[in-house]
Amino acid sequence: MKIKCKKYGEIIEGDKKGTYITCKCKAVAIDETPYYWRINGNMENFEEVKEDNNGVKNDKKK
């Protein structure tokens, strides 16, 4: 999942491998694995970025 740091508008994304990813200003951080994700930081410093219609994930190759 992706979150946006509201302080600088930076978007960071969990890599699903458990890597602890921090935004540049270190206000928020995300740590995502296939099983769960965690966000560190104050609620008012980030928002979730929805990625529904953005990009085609299922490109079917035959």
Residues that bind Zn ion (CB under 5 A): 5, 7-8, 23, 25, 27
**CB-based contacts of 50: which residues, under 8 Å, 6+ apart?**
none
Comparing CB distances to Zn ion, the nearer of 42 and 53 is 42
Comparing CB distances to Zn ion, the nearer of 10 and 18 is 10
Q: Smallest distance from the beta carbon of 45 to Zn ion, in angstroms? A: 7
- Please tell me the distance from the alpha carbon of residue 12 to that of residue 6, in angstroms, as a whole number: 11
Q: Smallest distance from the beta carbon of 55 to Zn ion, in angstroms? A: 23
Comparing CB distances to Zn ion, the nearer of 5 and 30 is 5
Name the DSSP letter for residue 44.
G
Report which secondary-structure segment, H or E, holds 19. none
